[in-house]
Structure 1
Amino acid sequence: MLGSETDPRPIRLLATPDGTGTQYAAKQFDPTLPLIGSGGLFMRFDPNGMCPVDSPFGTGVYYLDTRYFNYSFTLGGKSPDLLRSNTEGGISCDFVYGNEADGPALPRHVIVVRREIVISEGAVFERFLVRNHQAKPARVTLAIQGDARFVDVFHVRGFNEVQRGQLALPTPIVVSGKQGLLYAYRGRDGKWLQTTMLFPFTEPTAIKGGCVVFELALEAQKEVGVGLRLLLLPPQDAPLLPFQEIKEAEEGDPPTSTTVPEGLVLISGVGDWKSDFKTGLGAAWTVYGDWKTGCTKIATSDTFLDTAVGRGLRDLYMLQQATSYGAAIAAGLPWYPAIFGRDQAITALQWLPFFPRVGRGVVNVLASLQADSDDDANCRRRGKIIHERHVGELARCDATPFKLYFGSVDSTPLWLWLFARYVKTTGDIKFARELWPKVALALDYIDRELAEGGGYLRYGTDDGQPLRNHGWKDSNEGIVRADGSLAEGSIALCEVQGYLYAAWCDLALVASAMGHGPDAAEFVAKAKALKERFNRDFWMPGPEFLALALDSKGQVDPVTSNPGHCLLTGIVSDEYASAVARMLTSRSMLTSWGVRTLSGNDKSYSPAQYHLGTCWMHDSAMVAAGLAAVGDKSGACRIFTALLQTARQYPHGRLPELVCGFDESTLINYPSSCSPQAWATGVFPQVLAACIGLEPNALTHELRIRQPQLPHWLDHVALEKLPVGAASLDLQLTRKEESVDVAISNNPERVKVTID
């Protein structure tokens, strides 16, 4: 064993702060780079399957809004050649490497390394299997270079002005008799972030700084394994070991290792970190298997669609984050590993017909973060649902306004709609009663906002908030007039009014089921009045389309995708719905890859700009569902086809957050798109449910299937254990030339099924 366990050495903390975050900003963006994750911990790799600190791609091991750790390895002092990679599993991956030639004695690729990684129970389990494919013995050096900078994700994204805290030099440690390294950082808030890199099986030959060296003797056609564990600790008030400040980093490594009790390095939930890799891998997949049992099994005649749906389900699991309030969903990786109100609500709505448990978790988490007071600094209003929440160093130091930020005009009506739809789908009246005080608080907030906004939910663009726009198109230029000028003053977005309308309609059903008759009648009356004034004020006779918004000057008049959301909510009158649907499926809006956010005929159209002509996957799905809701199933199927064509351009069918809106034969990536992204995971479940016309209502023990239609390339869909309250049933849908046959293959609880 290296060193001694009886001569403890302190953590050596550099006295000079680490400067600003400028040096850590990602310089290149690629949504196709490999990534795995689970439970709020994720790893992003470069094209060679490594996580080096100097990578321009923002690679590393991330946890709690922070890039904790970077590492890579060499073989014989050289970077190995990547021969194969597989990250399809989402929570695990494997890479195969071959050595570079080292003279006649060691030809190229005769030493092969299979590197396997799984994120399990809050830790990274990794093993290297090094095999000698020669008829003679060989000696090879495997060196793992670790580097922990504990960089806030805002720094990685390019917010660099803020001063950082103090880094420590790597400290050799012993945990339960196993060698390793402790990496530490004292943040500006005084909190300590720490990572341990441990080697539970093969003992290192040497540890030099942050580099761990293994001199391996390989018999002919034999292999040797090296195990590695990364344990990431949440912010602590004190370090694991005593520390001393030093002025220079060149003082050398301590000659001994310090014993650290195992209990100190284990974060909550970590099992036996000393168990072998197969045990960790099995445990991770067992947890995933238990989680997904709550989801309807979807099997179709199109194998790629099945792949894409499965990819979305695994990505949804990857994005799950355990919080003290319940299971939350991160918005997207790698740039937004945090809780967002709008994103979670829409994601849960997408999955709701097939996986209602996700909706319950989101409702609970957002209810727990509901504002209980007013504060103009972060747009907080009593009863309002959050826009986003961050827990990294910048948030803890109040160096970003997004620690707990409420600058979202749509999160609250979306949360109310999700709550009501969840109760309607599950029939969980007990849950409804428990949450009703939170619902009442949100409704009081809505009423106050409507009174101030002339009957509409609005936000101001001149109130000094960090985000100029508070809808899902929240970029500075996202809400623009047809003449190219920006909307100004008090803005009422069309889709936000639709979300509120839908929420009131479904809340009326829930209130009635709870015995709150007067409340139900009030919701119905409010919804009816909102629909009347909405169609009066937002309709544009010229283009025969809905205005994007109302602002201080009147209608904000470009042709955009937002009215597609309105179709889904039911707020658009029958008189106007067909015209809106025609525009959304016109050549200026519908491309080979999805629906544009802004018409290709608009003066401000810019297909590579965030909200001015790009195609967002969730937005396209919402439009497709909107078309289906007003009877344009053919239009919905056209969008379905475009989205599947987009998925075919990406590994394993993983849809990115968005793509550029060029309508060309070759898709053009949007470089900084998140992938995976929460509301991209539910695109295919949402569109499939919309085309089938699924409308579960557990309050009446009924499933309605409205005008089912499938795309021309999809002949059959099987749904196993489709939930309607506590009951479930199996459906078989088969496409004929002009219709879809629906067969009920299993309905033990006798759910009433109506097909029209």
Structure 2
Amino acid sequence: MIDDEMHAALLPIVEGQQVQPAAIKLIEEEEQQQVNATSITLKCGDSFLLLDVCGDLLSTRQEMGLFRHGTRFLRSCNLFLEGKKLVALSHQTSTMSDACHIDLTNMPLQLTEETLLEQGVVHVDRFIELEQDYLKQTFTITNFYTTDLSLTLSLMVGADYCDMFEVRGTVREKRGVQQPIKIGQNGVQLSYQGLDQVTRSTAIQASPEPSSNQGEQMDWKLQLTRGEPVEISLLLHMSESSQETIETAQAITLWRETQRPTLETDHPFFNRLLERGIQDLMMLSTMTPHGYYPYAGIPWFNCPFGRDGLITALEFLPLYPQVARGTLAFLAAYQGTKIDAFTDEEPGKIFHEFRKGEMAACREIPYIPYYGTIDATPLFVILFEAYMRWTDDISFLEQHWSHIQAAIDWMINYGDQDGDSFLEYSRKASTGLANQGWKDAWDSMTHSDSRIARSPLALCEVQGYAYAAYRAGSYLARRLRRAEEARTWDLLAETLQKNFLEQFWWEAEQSVYMALAENKEPCDVVASNAGQCLWTGILPDDKARQIIERLMRKDMFSGWGMRTLSTKAARYNPLSYHNGSVWPHDTALVGSGFALYGGKQEAGQLLKSLFEASQHFPDARLPELYCGFERREGYGPTRYPVSCSPQAWAAGAPVTLLFSLLGLHPNAAEGRLTLHQPTLPDWLGSLEINGLTVGSQRLHLRFNRRGSQTDVSIGRDNAVDVRVLY
């Protein structure tokens, strides 16, 4: 998702430091040592906070801060005791990831020539709560020293109001104006007048009133009686003078009121991974006027992405159909209606990325929204079919039928540039993305001799998406008794499948070419794109089995998941964004295709690799991607330095692979769920699912593995017709 110019700028850097009071400079060395330290992420609606384990915002971490609508409203909010940084003991984050408790203590403090306060005698409970437009912090300070103490607690605050693209490394020709700090009796106000004529402000109110308030530094002179806690509270309110918002305040409440389905296996650590993914979905799903939308990831992509939202909704659809419904409705509301080269908009096209903030408002970036994606439009139709099969929400289908027609018309009239049945792309404006599939780095599409492939480009997996979308459109048309459209779209699917097998099949590698480039020249490299073709059903069984065997060789399967590119390719680089790294969602989609064609043993192996990788990341949270080095026994995967975590489609990867192994095929219109060869991998003995919904009916299923066979038990009150096919 990182565009051409931004990727290099995302590598860790050290920002320029403002001059700070002498006492605060003492912590500079400690900050430098923590440049790669663990961070804490909180999110509520369209706001998120990224901080270190002390609750501070490090200047050495360019991604840290309090963000809202793509703007950083707080760059520093750092706590000191007697001018020294506090020591982190532990931290716990709430289930909804909107609050955290951080336990801190003092460093050794030389109070007088005779008095050395040893480390660990003053406790500070730092409680942080994030809401839609404000942040609460409460400091509870308790003295456990043998006598009473007089100490100064200091808070350093500052805001730069950088647009997220500035944080990512974009250098702007000019910015708005930072307003003078306003100092009040019990707080300060920081503000910025943007080039978009929007004033963004952060008002900070403290209780009790600080003993000293210099604007960027507030001090409290504390008289700490042994064992008696003292409390200080802060309220930081973010405001914008004129800003369209897309979320509502009911998001968190609705999640909490939802009767959550449950997944539980006999493996407690695997349960932890599944629960982590569900909690991350809840964190990232933001309520809009159209329903829930899963934002792509934190910190770089806390906004709607078309492709990411659609795939995430597909991953979690059996558990949370309301996310799919909200995603479809939101994308339909912003579906393209006109031709605009700057944003790559075309009638019927589904957008790629939708940003808020000063740079978007000033059209310095095209993401307003930006439509430069070849695959979001067919994925929109695919998700709509899947949603209907699980819910039978016929009124929703009738409401959005014109959007489905427009999407398929775009595929025919705009997506297929030369009438050869393949969807292909070319960049319309220099500010847009050169590559417009999910591998959108500038160097992700290449030939075997390392040449960068030239557009127009037809990606192999996108042809699979198009095939599945035509089939999906046909199913949806039949549901509305539109037989002529159904026949037309079935014929398009058949034609595309025939042409795909003729032009994309790569006999020498028993795979498919990654893409056809300019003049239909094949991109003759083995890549994970071939595996993503499988879950769409475009390939016949014999060729699908060959691809499964090919992708499970050591040059593609790293032991931690599926590499994006073969180690034998000229541009293979395990440290790259798309040329040899491992993406959990990519591995899951490849594994789902394996399972569809009977490769459930291989799919189980991929699920196990992701599960074992997750145990090496904080909180068992799978990141956006990690490096593609070969697995070393006894050691974990190598991290990618600027990977988003949490990240929506990574959170859904284990869930979608697990459901693929169970072979779930719903038919809500007839109240039926068919399980095709349900298979638990050999490292799981049982699985219980409670609260899965087909139509309006909830059901309870239990799976038990007995040798190579997986048995299915159905709950007593189940009203769904469950059929098991072995």
Question: Considering the TM-score relative to the shorter chain, is it more than 0.5?
Answer: yes
Q: Deviations over 1:40-78 (max 9, x none)?
A: 2111113543114x2334211111111110211111221
Aligned to 1:524: 490
Q: Deviations over 1:280-328 (max 9, x none)?
A: xxxx97654224x2x4211111111111111111211221233344432
2:615 is the alignment partner of 1:609: no
Displacement of 1:369: 1.0
Letter in 2 for 1:707: Q
Distance in 2 of aligned mates of 1:190 and 1:708: 58
| Larger displacement relative to structure 2 (222-231 or 628-637) | 222-231
1:565-644 equivalent positions in 2, closer than 5 A: 565-644=532-611
Cα distance change on mapping 1:221 and 1:365 into 2, 3 Å = same
Distance in 1 of aligned mates of 2:650 and 2:483: 38
Contact 1:115 1:127 in 2 (8 A): yes
Displacement of 1:684: 1.2
Letter in 1 for 2:377: T
SS at match of 2:156: strand
1:483-522 equivalent positions in 2, closer than 5 A: 483-522=449-488
Displacement of 1:639: 0.2
Aligned to 2:511: 545
Distance in 1 of aligned mates of 2:279 and 2:690: 18
Contact 1:703 1:752 in 2 (8 A): yes
Displacement of 1:624: 0.6
**Alignment counterpart, residue 659 of structure 1, candidates 626, 633, 644:** 626
Distance in 1 of aligned mates of 2:143 and 2:252: 30
Distance in 1 of aligned mates of 2:35 and 2:350: 31
2:213 is the alignment partner of 1:207: yes
Displacement of 1:463: 6.0
TM-score by length of 2: 0.91
Contact 2:291 2:325 in 1 (8 A): no
Displacement of 1:140: 1.7
Q: Deviations over 1:692-718 (max 9, x none)?
A: 111112123211111111122111100
TM-score by length of 1: 0.87
Distance in 2 of aligned mates of 1:394 and 1:71: 25
**Alignment counterpart, residue 194 of structure 1, candidates 191, 198, 201:** 201
Contact 2:408 2:470 in 1 (8 A): no
Q: Deviations over 1:115-173 (max 9, x none)?
A: 11122354222211100102322122111111011111101110123311111222134
SS at match of 1:346: helix
Contact 2:188 2:215 in 1 (8 A): no
Aligned to 2:437: 471
Distance in 2 of aligned mates of 1:125 and 1:33: 19
Displacement of 1:110: 1.0
Cα distance change on mapping 1:720 and 1:194 into 2, 3 Å = same
Aligned to 1:256: none
Letter in 2 for 1:371: G
Cα distance change on mapping 1:664 and 1:267 into 2, 3 Å = closer
Letter in 2 for 1:85: H
Q: Deviations over 1:403-431 (max 9, x none)?
A: 32111000100111111211121100000
2:9 is the alignment partner of 1:44: no
Q: Deviations over 1:323-361 (max 9, x none)?
A: 344432221111112211111111111111121111001
Distance in 2 of aligned mates of 1:642 and 1:56: 30
Aligned to 1:65: 70
Displacement of 1:622: 0.4
**Alignment counterpart, residue 433 of structure 1, candidates 381, 398, 411:** 398
Letter in 1 for 2:701: L
Distance in 1 of aligned mates of 2:511 and 2:551: 9
Distance in 1 of aligned mates of 2:38 and 2:672: 42
The structure showing larger relative contact order (alpha-carbon pairs under 8 Å, at least 6 residues apart) is 1
**Alignment counterpart, residue 442 of structure 1, candidates 407, 410, 419:** 407
Displacement of 1:601: 1.7
1:155-304 equivalent positions in 2, closer than 5 A: 155-173=166-184, 179-199=186-206, 201-236=207-242, 288-291=255-258, 293=259, 295-304=260-269
Distance in 1 of aligned mates of 2:173 and 2:302: 20
Displacement of 1:465: 5.1
Contact 1:24 1:151 in 2 (8 A): no
Q: Deviations over 1:538-570 (max 9, x none)?
A: 101111111111122422110000111110000
Q: Deviations over 1:641-678 (max 9, x none)?
A: 10001100111110000000001323111111111111
Distance in 2 of aligned mates of 1:206 and 1:405: 48
1:14-413 equivalent positions in 2, closer than 5 A: 32-46=38-52, 48-52=54-58, 54-69=59-74, 70-87=76-93, 89=95, 90-103=97-110, 104=115, 106-173=117-184, 179-199=186-206, 201-236=207-242, 288-291=255-258, 293=259, 295-413=260-378
Contact 1:162 1:399 in 2 (8 A): no
Distance in 1 of aligned mates of 2:331 and 2:247: 23
Distance in 2 of aligned mates of 1:570 and 1:30: 42
Contact 1:113 1:131 in 2 (8 A): yes
Distance in 1 of aligned mates of 2:650 and 2:89: 30
Distance in 2 of aligned mates of 1:180 and 1:42: 22
Cα distance change on mapping 1:682 and 1:309 into 2, 3 Å = same
Contact 2:306 2:331 in 1 (8 A): yes
Cα distance change on mapping 1:679 and 1:267 into 2, 3 Å = closer
Letter in 2 for 1:488: R
Contact 1:513 1:699 in 2 (8 A): no
Letter in 1 for 2:541: D
Displacement of 1:387: 0.8
Distance in 2 of aligned mates of 1:100 and 1:738: 57
Q: Deviations over 1:438-482 (max 9, x none)?
A: 111112111103363421110125864521111000111101112
Aligned to 2:6: none
Cα distance change on mapping 1:79 and 1:270 into 2, 3 Å = farther
Letter in 2 for 1:204: P
Aligned to 1:11: none
Distance in 1 of aligned mates of 2:510 and 2:248: 56
Distance in 1 of aligned mates of 2:241 and 2:262: 39
Cα distance change on mapping 1:503 and 1:29 into 2, 3 Å = farther
Displacement of 1:102: 2.5
Task: Give the unaligned 5+ runs of structure 2.
Answer: 1-13, 19-30
Contact 2:296 2:308 in 1 (8 A): yes
2:560 is the alignment partner of 1:560: no
Contact 2:344 2:370 in 1 (8 A): yes
Identity over aligned residues, as a percent? 31
Distance in 2 of aligned mates of 1:270 and 1:170: 29
**Alignment counterpart, residue 388 of structure 2, candidates 412, 423, 434:** 423
Contact 2:142 2:229 in 1 (8 A): yes
Task: Give the unaligned 5+ runs of structure 1.
Answer: 1-20, 238-265, 272-283
Cα distance change on mapping 1:109 and 1:102 into 2, 3 Å = same
1:441-460 equivalent positions in 2, closer than 5 A: 441-449=406-414, 450=416, 452-460=418-426
Contact 1:231 1:267 in 2 (8 A): no
Cα distance change on mapping 1:92 and 1:381 into 2, 3 Å = same
Distance in 2 of aligned mates of 1:463 and 1:492: 19
SS at match of 1:658: coil
Distance in 2 of aligned mates of 1:268 and 1:708: 39
Say how many residue pairs are matched: 688
